[in-house]
Structure 1
Amino acid sequence: MWFVFAVAAASCFGLRGILYHWTSQRPIDRNLLLLGVYLSGTLITVTGNLFIQQSWSTGALFGILMGLFSFIANASMYKGYAVGKASIVALFTGLPPLVVMIVAFVLWREELTAWQFTAFFIVLSGLILIKYSQDLKLNQLKGIQWGVLTMLFFGFTDVSVKQATLSGAATLPILTVMFLTGSVLFGISWAVNKSKGTASSNEEDSPNKWTMKRTLGWGMIVGITNAAGMLLIFPAFRDGITGIVSAIVAMNVAFVILYARFYLKEDWNKREITGLSMAFVGILILRIAS
């Protein structure tokens, strides 16, 4: 059953990435959209816990850090999809294990295996090939910068999850605090921009800009995929083999890359294909070896 949960989680996160990219190309307020995403997650986890009634503890406060880090990661990922190549930004969403691997060594002295060193070298080589591809333009380099922020802060989110797990906190309370924190942060960002008259949409002056109601509603729909992915990961890790579950969940990157190639018709040159392939293989090796 854990295999089904892992595949379902990967599908949810892959669909989330596709929806983020699709939405980023619309005249829509980014902060209001992401407020809807996190508000949806808050309502789902609170409602779920009304029935399951998992106990609250001080460990749930780690959800504040998770919410802060995921706030930055999701905002960066969305921005990256708005200005860069979807396939390359998507790649970085599969790289947080690199961050976790380094932080784990610093905090908990978890040493790296030979396979992890090998994976790190393969991924780094692939990223260098992508970065120096002759076909990449300035706006795509900006996408890479946002992708790096996405990688870093999704990694920090994972580290916070581990700390919360070590504290013995229950899943739904942690996720409730995380989603609530994200909702507050995106709500503040939206309110500040609105008061200053600063738009955060992809097409600020577009006459077809989405209304507040439509934007928030669509964000809550997208939030279902995000919340579902988070909820599905926990039973997969609890019952399955950690490395195999991680490798399966990492396949969510493939959904966005395939979407970019076959739906958006993004062209890849040989260097980009080689770089993407090397980095993806490195992700799989890193996940399995972890």
Structure 2
Amino acid sequence: MGEFFSVACAACWALAVVLFRRSGETLPAFELNLFKNLLATGLMVPTILLVDGLAWPGYSPLEWLIVMLSGVVGIAVADTWYLRALNLMGASRTGVVASLYSPFVILLSILFLGEMLIWWQYFGFLLVLAGILLVTWRQNRRDVSLRAIRLGVAFGAGAVLLMACGIVMVKPVLETQSFMWTMGVRLAAGATGMLLFMHVTRGWERVARHYRSPQPWGMIVVGSLLGSYLSMMLWLAGYKLTQASVASVLNETAAAFIVLFAWLFLKEDMNWRRVAGIAMTFSGVGVMVAF
């Protein structure tokens, strides 16, 4: 089930990204990300009450610190750095840098969780990574300065490293404590971190101005429900029920799902390279989970 949830998370996130592509034409990325995280945090309150009732989580002080730190590091700081990389060097280059996520998780899982992949799982990982690179790589002929690329790579690599740190540090808590509480506290900590960042940078007026302007709120709300609430639940469930190293590789299939859904729903071009990349990605998934 862990493998299933990890692939379902990738598909759910990809569908949300397709909606975000349309809504992002009028609402900037930071404001969109803040809205989806605040919405998901609000939805976690009735969800926790429905699943766990009024019972308080049995976290130790250290576990409280770990879950909140995971949210701040993996949602607030990492998302901010990722958006910075996106602005500096564009979506295609950032997508390639984001493929470092699963290698980071695998390395951290081996170092801190004692996980190990079997040789054929490494082969599946290489297939997935090669497929993602084939799908996402584009020749970008727009002039981007070398300094912007260097800064973008630094922010992008730092972002996915922090995402990997956030999930690896919280995995032991996920395995022993309330799933819904862990998800809710992590989201709340991440959203709070973003609000604090806005306070420090005095960005309240800018964000409020964008929220007051006409937006496709129906699309934004549906995308936020899929991209933050549902996909976060599937994402954490995957890490709870299978090895973090395996879940991270399966999460990488989101890039292939995005290309597929963009072709189906946004009528974007599909060529042989993308078809081959999608086929290679899901072949790698098959190798990872079938044996």
Which consecutive residues of structure 2, in runs of 5 or more, have no partner in the other structure? Answer: none
Post-superposition offset of 1:255? 2.8
1:20-45 Cα offsets, whole Å, 9 max, x none, are 4334433x354433222221121111
| Counterpart mapping for 1:7-86 below 5 A | 8-26=8-26, 28-53=27-52, 55-56=56-57, 57-58=59-60, 59-68=63-72, 69-79=74-84, 84-85=90-91
Post-superposition offset of 1:105? 1.6
Secondary structure class of the residue paired with 2:260? helix
1:255 aligns with: 257
| Counterpart mapping for 1:261-280 below 5 A | 263=266, 265=268, 276=277, 280=281
Contact 2:81–2:156 (8 Å) recurs in 1: yes
Normalising by structure 2, we get a TM-score of 0.68
Q: Residue 114 in 1 paired to residue 116 in 2?
A: no
Post-superposition offset of 1:11? 3.3
- The percentage of counterpart residues that share the same residue type is 17
Displaced runs of 4+ in structure 1, greater than 4 A?
A: 1-8, 76-83, 88-95, 119-144, 212-221, 233-250, 259-262, 266-270, 276-279
| Counterpart mapping for 1:140-151 below 5 A | 142=149, 145=153, 147-151=156-160
Contact 1:2–1:236 (8 Å) recurs in 2: yes
Normalising by structure 1, we get a TM-score of 0.68
Size of the aligned set, in residue pairs, is: 277
1:195/1:12 CA distance change after superposition, 3 Å: closer
| Counterpart mapping for 1:1-290 below 5 A | 8-26=8-26, 28-53=27-52, 55-56=56-57, 57-58=59-60, 59-68=63-72, 69-79=74-84, 84-85=90-91, 89-90=94-95, 96-119=101-124, 134-135=139-140, 137-139=142-144, 142=149, 145=153, 147-166=156-175, 168-194=176-202, 210-212=210-212, 221-225=222-226, 226-233=228-235, 250-260=252-262, 263=266, 265=268, 276=277, 280=281, 284=285, 287-288=288-289
Which consecutive residues of structure 1, in runs of 5 or more, have no partner in the other structure? Answer: 202-208
**Letter of the aligned partner of 2:46 in structure 1?**
T
| Distance across 1 between alignment mates of 2:165 and 2:255 | 19
| Distance across 2 between alignment mates of 1:285 and 1:185 | 38
